[in-house]
Amino acid sequence: MTNVLPSKELVAASSRPLVLAVLARGEDYGYALLREVERLSGGALSWQEGMLYPVLHRLEREGLIASTWRVAETGRRRKYYAITKRGQEALAAERATWEAVSATLRNAWGAT
């Protein structure tokens, strides 16, 4: 795994499809979601802990995810997020875009 960290802009842009993709596999809460992104990226992509929440807030406002408060096993209230139908559609669109970018880059690199 490379040590080059992606730019701030790239991290911000990729946070949207990443959150949607993780939630598409099942509902989750903030902390676990962040650890899962870290694991998926092999440590190459690390978000600042608190920065995830504005992203979740924006996605919820757009109706792509929905949240519910539940009581965790520790007795503490915890907020869980789940993807909505609209979120799944948005994820499919995001996926198409990112795959197109990725394919273009691969072609460009392969051609040189």
Partner 1 sequence: MSFDRAAAARHWRISILSRGGLTVGEVDELEDHLEQVEERLLEHLQPEEAFWVAAHRVGTPEVLTREFALVRPNFGWELRAQWALIGLLASWLWVPLARAMLNLLAAIVAQIPPVAGVAAVVVLYGSPLAYVLALVLAVVVVRRLGALPTGIDRAVEYLAANPRPGLLLAAVGVVA
Token digits of residue 101: 């970018």
- For the beta sheet containing 77-83, the strands, ordered from the edge strand earlier in sequence to the opposite edge, are 28-29, 77-83, 65-71
d(CA 29, CA 16): 16
For the segment 83-112, give every residue that binds partner 1 (CB under 8 A). none
Nearest to 92 by CA among 64, 67, 51, 61: 64
Phi/psi-derived region of residue 65, left when phi > 0, alpha when psi is between -120 and 50, beta in every other case? beta
For residues 3 and 49, the answer to whether their CB atoms sit within 8 Å is: no
Q: Which is nearer to partner 1, 78 or 95 (CB)?
A: 78
Q: Which is nearer to partner 1, 57 or 106 (CB)?
A: 57
Contact pattern for partner 1 over residues 31 through 70, marking x by CB under 8 A:
x----------------xxxx-xxx-xx--x-------x-
User: Minimum distance between the CB of residue 69 and partner 1, rounded to whole angstroms?
Assistant: 8
Size of the site for partner 1 (CB under 8 A): 19
User: Minimum distance between the CB of residue 91 and partner 1, rounded to whole angstroms?
Assistant: 19
Q: Which is nearer to partner 1, 49 or 99 (CB)?
A: 49
| 4 φ/ψ angles, rounded to the nearest 5 degrees | -75, 120
Chain residues binding partner 1 by CB under 8 A are 29-31, 48-51, 53-55, 57-58, 61, 69, 72, 76-79
